[in-house]
Amino acid sequence: MTMTSRLTACLTVVLTLVVAGCAGFDFAKQTDDALVLGQTTRQEILQRLGTPYREGTATKNGKQLKTLSYAFATASGAAVRDGVVPTRGQGFYFLDDKLAGYDFASSWKEDQTNFDGAKVSEIKKGVSTRDDVVRLIGRPGGTYGYPLIADQNRQADVYLYAETRGGPITVKFYQKHLVVTYDERGVVSNVDYQELGQKEVGQK
Pairing of strands 54-60, 172-182: unpaired
* 139 Cβ contact partners less than 8 Å away, ≥ 6 residues apart: none
Q: Give the up-direction half-sphere exposure of residue 104: CA atoms within 13 A in the CB hemisphere.
A: 18
Task: Report helix, strand and coil shares of the chain as percent, to nearest 5.
Answer: 25, 40, 40
- Quick: pLDDT tens for 60-117: 999 999 999 998 877 777 888 888 888 889 999 999 999 999 999 999 999 999 999 9
- Decide: helix, strand or coil at residue 201: coil
> What pLDDT, on the 0 to 100 scale, is given for residue 87?
87
Sites in the chain below the pLDDT cut of 70:
1-25, 167-169, 201-204
> What pLDDT, on the 0 to 100 scale, is given for residue 49?
94
pTM of the full structure: 0.87
> What pLDDT, on the 0 to 100 scale, is given for residue 68?
94
> What pLDDT, on the 0 to 100 scale, is given for residue 126?
98
* Percentage of the chain modeled with pLDDT above 70: 83
> What pLDDT, on the 0 to 100 scale, is given for residue 167?
66
Sign of torsion over alpha carbons 127, 93, 13, 79:
negative
Are 192 and 185 in contact by the 8 Å Cβ rule? The answer is: no
> What pLDDT, on the 0 to 100 scale, is given for residue 21?
53
